[in-house]
Amino acid sequence: MNYQDLATRLTQLSDRLSKHSEKIEGDAVARAAAKLLAQLNSFEEHLDSFLASRKSGELMLETFLRSPAAKKHLSVEILKKGLREILGKRLKSEDLSAAKKEFVELVHAKEKAAQAAKFLKETFAAAAHVEPGGKDKASLQKEFARLGTLADDEYLNEIGERTFGELRRLAAASGIKFTDKTTKERLAVLVRRYSRRAAVNIATAA
Amino acid sequence: MSSKVLAFINFKGGVGKTASVVNIGATLAKLHGKKVLIVDLDPQANSSLWLMRPDRWREHVAKGRKSTYQIFDDALQGKGKFSFDESVVQGVVTWTGFVDLPKLHLLPSAVELLRIEDKIHELRAPGIYQILESALAPHFKQYDYVLLDCPPNLYSTTKNAVFSADSCVVPYVPDYLSLSGFQVLAEHIGEFRERFGSHLPSRRKPHIGALIVSHYRQTGNVFRLAINELELSMANLQARGAIPENTILLEPYIRHCVRVAESTSEHLPVILYAPGSIGAQDYCDLTQRFLDHFDNKK
């Protein structure tokens, strides 16, 4: 059921009740009416609260604070920065859940929920941004694929002329995992193996 | 309202087409206030069954009437039974019985679509790839985003989606089989563009706008190397003009997450079912990048 269906149902009920109101009598229907009234009061409270929070921006703030992005990116530092920007105030709490509570209370008190929601939206958007590898990465990847096309002796000659740092940059840009303990010789073997694979796979794919 | 129509295609199955459509659509509606229409074009009805309980879906699409099947059947029979307003499902029904995500709409699919492919070909009429666009384009403008969930093939229904779309999005699993398939797909779309592009305004010439990586695991070298090969292949295709220069590989990659799989059984997008899961977090960040890419695109 959607809320429009509920509204239609309530309108129909209201019309029937209005039409027959002077004829209705007895305990059973009165008890049911009392229950319905209690439920209606509770529903009206929830609805009023929802509509008010939607208007003030509180709903959006709550949505962002509970969003998957908050779970991944939200920190005390972000909340401190937000409060400074929105209210010019300092957040005292150092624990994330206490900081969230303090943040929400302070922005609500100053009716700045909409600004706070906007701040979080922009902050999460910035956090989701991934810097592209750029031309450096692209040229290293291209070089990696070219190395894969070389014959064994040509490859050894080329690798021999490179520094360990250059080889590490080439491997890192091409998805090869290595540690501080990986030697130049071992890295050269890995680059050889995977660059040949890439050259073959891309050539056959193309 | 200026809508963006995006076809999620890959003729390889199990690459995350439906998961991408459902979860990006839900995140656009929930966190970005966008009005979104998901059009299910797959006879398996996976996005329909992800967002609707099976009993409600069966009742809704009985005999294919209120589904995308009716659009194609109307074209074949020369009838006009399809009603967009009656067919579209607004929001997602949660286990309370009430609707959530009111800005997310779904035009469901029906299994009857299975029977339609051969018949569309038999038509041999000009305009067989414009059936979907003719029926839905007038309704697209009430949405910010229209996401077309295509079947895992490149037959007539998918071509209808490509013809209707501003851009194609290719969900991708990082392995060699996907890499070879992507190359074929890019060339196929290129051929389609050559054949039919003259009927369309330049911004809508069929092309691949973005790739999305699913089922990613951060173990060892395996997936990083496969993605490196994909990036190299994309650079090759861009250099040859087979895909546009601004086609991007959207990040973050969607990590394998059991909660996403589980959310299909709950008939809810992961952002509603398990908002704290890594799946929800990844789709949340990916949707932001998706918006950055497609909202700024002319």
Which residue range is the domain that position B153 belongs to?
4-38+123-295
Quick check: A68 pLDDT over 60? yes
Residue B195, domain member (yes or no): yes
Identify the pLDDT of residue A82.
93
Mean pLDDT of chain A: 90
CATH number at residue B269: 3.40.50.300
Residue B238: is it exposed, middle or buried by C-beta count within 10 angstroms (0-12/13-18/19+)? Answer: middle
Residue A33 near residue A20 (C-beta atoms within 8 A)? no
Residue B40 near residue B147 (C-beta atoms within 8 A)? no
How far off is chain B from A190, nearest CA to CA, in Å? 11
Q: What is the mean pLDDT of residues A143-167?
A: 91
- Asked whether this complex has an ipTM greater than 0.90, the answer is no
- A205 with B283: Cβ contact below 8 A: no
> Chain B contacts of A138, Cβ < 8 Å?
235
Write the residue in A68, A177, A201 that is nearest to B179 by C-beta: A201
Beta strands in A14-117 (DSSP E): none
Tokens for B59, please give them.
């009742």
| B97 touching chain A per CB within 8 A | yes
Residue B87, domain member (yes or no): no
| B176 touching chain A per CB within 8 A | yes
Identify the pLDDT of residue B202.
62
| Angle of helix A96-109 versus helix A58-65 axis, rounded to 10 | 170
> Chain A contacts of B281, Cβ < 8 Å?
68-69, 71-72
Nearest chain A residue (CA) to B99:
A2
How far off is chain A from B114, nearest CA to CA, in Å? 30
| B246 touching chain A per CB within 8 A | no
| B227 touching chain A per CB within 8 A | yes
Q: What is the mean pLDDT of residues A165-173?
A: 92
Residue B141, domain member (yes or no): yes
The model's confidence at residue A133, banded by pLDDT at 50, 70 and 90, is low
CA A47: distance to chain centroid?
A: 27
Q: What is the mean pLDDT of residues A136-158?
A: 90
Identify the pLDDT of residue B145.
97
Domain count, chain B: 1
Residue B110, domain member (yes or no): no
User: How many whole angstroms separate alpha carbon B271 and alpha carbon B27?
Assistant: 7
CA A71: distance to chain centroid?
A: 8
DSSP state of B105: E
Write the residue in A1, A72, A130 that is nearest to B98 by C-beta: A1
Identify the pLDDT of residue B298.
44
The one-letter code for the residue type at B104 is: L
Torsion from C-alpha of B87, B92, B95, B99, nearest 10 degrees: -90
> Chain B contacts of A67, Cβ < 8 Å?
31, 271, 275, 284
Q: What is the mean pLDDT of residues A97-103?
A: 91
Closest CA to B212 of B247, B178, B169: B169
Write the residue in A6, A68, A204 that is nearest to B284 by C-beta: A68
How far off is chain A from B76, nearest CA to CA, in Å? 34
| B251 touching chain A per CB within 8 A | yes
> Chain A contacts of B232, Cβ < 8 Å?
141-142, 144-145, 198, 202
Question: What residues of chain B, 28 to 67, have a C-beta less than 8 Å from chain A?
Answer: 30-31
> Chain A contacts of B275, Cβ < 8 Å?
66-68, 71
Residue B55, domain member (yes or no): no
**A186-202 pLDDT tens trace:** 999 999 999 999 998 88
Residue B60, domain member (yes or no): no
> Chain B contacts of A135, Cβ < 8 Å?
none
Residue A137: is it exposed, middle or buried by C-beta count within 10 angstroms (0-12/13-18/19+)? Answer: middle
> Chain B contacts of A197, Cβ < 8 Å?
225, 229
Residue B256, domain member (yes or no): yes
Residue B297 near residue B207 (C-beta atoms within 8 A)? no
Chain A to chain B Cβ contacts (< 8 Å) = 110
> Chain A contacts of B221, Cβ < 8 Å?
175-177, 194
pLDDT in single tens digits along all 298 residues of chain B? 679 999 999 988 889 999 999 999 999 999 999 999 999 999 999 999 999 999 999 999 998 899 999 999 999 888 899 999 999 999 999 888 899 999 999 999 999 998 888 888 777 777 888 899 999 999 999 999 999 999 999 889 999 999 999 999 999 998 888 888 898 899 889 888 888 777 666 667 788 999 999 999 887 788 899 999 999 999 989 988 889 999 999 999 999 999 999 999 999 999 999 999 999 999 999 999 999 999 865 4
Cis peptide before B252 (omega within 30 of 0): yes
CA A43-A46-A49 angle, 5° bins = 145
Residue B109, domain member (yes or no): no
- A205 with B277: Cβ contact below 8 A: no
How far off is chain B from A182, nearest CA to CA, in Å? 14
Write the residue in B179, B277, B289 that is nearest to A205 by C-beta: B179
